[in-house]
Amino acid sequence: MSYEAQIAKQKKVLVAIIAIVIIVAFVATSVRQVDAGHRGVMLTFGKVEENIYGEGGPYFVIPFAQELILVNVQTLKYLAGASAASEDLQIVSSSIAVNFHVDPNQANTVYQRLRFDYGDRVIAPAIQEVVKAATAKFVAEELITKREDVKAVITNDLTKRLAEFGIVVETVLIESFDFSSGFNQAIEAKVTAEQQALEAERILQRKEVEALQKVAEAGGVAESIRITAKAEADAILLKAKANAEALNIQKQEVSQLINQFKAIEKWDGKLPQFLGTEVIPFIDITNVNATQP
């Protein structure tokens, strides 16, 4: 083979290699896929197409004419601070965390309107407006005592506002409410006063219980004394009755002895004709003696 033929052959091989490289590059730049947790938005010469591409692929694009943009539809977190006035005109600084995601069915319109800057362009202003409106519905103290109610108001209003831009609110977290130093001191003083009042009430209740116990104890002692006194009085009365009965018996016995003594003093030494009592007549015993042998 001549030198010229070799050169021609080498040129053909080089051209083939270049063609293969171009074809491979063309295919590589024409095939796309959509990662998990994303949606694909097709741009044709910079214009957003209506079709939304789901996870997976492959998807073919025209090199240098089309571009497949991946929009994240996973849960994202946005943290924003807001300053507002409560219903009683206390200045409140709050920190709000919002968990959200882009509506997969509106990925193309979200990208068309906001690109990837929806946090600063939409979410932050919405948080500011909603927090100001919600804070104004409560007095400063209620922002603490009714935290769940405040959270519900913020969540509902923020959900409605962001839905207009294709943003879905999942949860809203109130990370903090900060008040002025004067209000904090007032709250601290109020809490201290309430604690002192509760302590005073507990002391009063304890003293009342102790007083009732003392009254009960005094009543018990008095009842015990009364029962003892009654028992002693009953015993003395019984003893007195017994002594009276004994004296009465003794008096009767003495009376009988005196009567007998008086009868003996009056006796002339002669046996009476009759024996008996006042009821039964005396029996004549003279005849009895005469009949005896």
Does residue 147 have a pLDDT over 70? yes
Does residue 288 have a pLDDT over 50? no
Predicted local confidence at residue 253, as pLDDT: 63
Using CA of residue 138, residue 140, residue 142, residue 147, what is the dihedral sign? positive
10-19, 27-36, 54-63, 64-73: range with highest mean pLDDT = 64-73
Tell me the C-alpha distance between 47 and 105, whole Å: 18
Tokens of 275: 């024996």
Does residue 246 have a pLDDT over 60? yes
pLDDT single digits (tens) 6-23: 676 666 777 777 777 766
Whether the CB-CB separation of 37 and 72 falls below 8 Å is answered with: yes
Tell me the C-alpha distance between 162 and 155, whole Å: 11
Query: What DSSP string describes 1-55?
Result: --HHHHHHHHHHHHHHHHHHHHHHHHHHHHEEEE-TTEEEEEEETTEEEEEEE-S
Predicted local confidence at residue 290, as pLDDT: 46
Mean of all residue pLDDT scores within the chain:
78
Tokens of 50: 């209506």
Does residue 138 have a pLDDT over 80? yes
Please name the amino acid found at residue 82.
A
| 158 CA to centre of own chain | 29
| pLDDT band (50, 70, 90) for residue 167 | very high
Kindly report the number of other CB atoms within 10 A of residue 165's CB atom: 18
pLDDT single digits (tens) 168-201: 999 999 988 787 766 656 665 665 666 666 766 7
Query: Looking at domain 76-179, what is its CATH homologous superfamily?
Result: Band 7 domain (3.30.479.30)
Query: What DSSP string describes 50-100?
Result: EEEE-SEEEEE--TTTEEEEEEE-S-EEEEEEEEEE-TT--EEEEEEEEEE
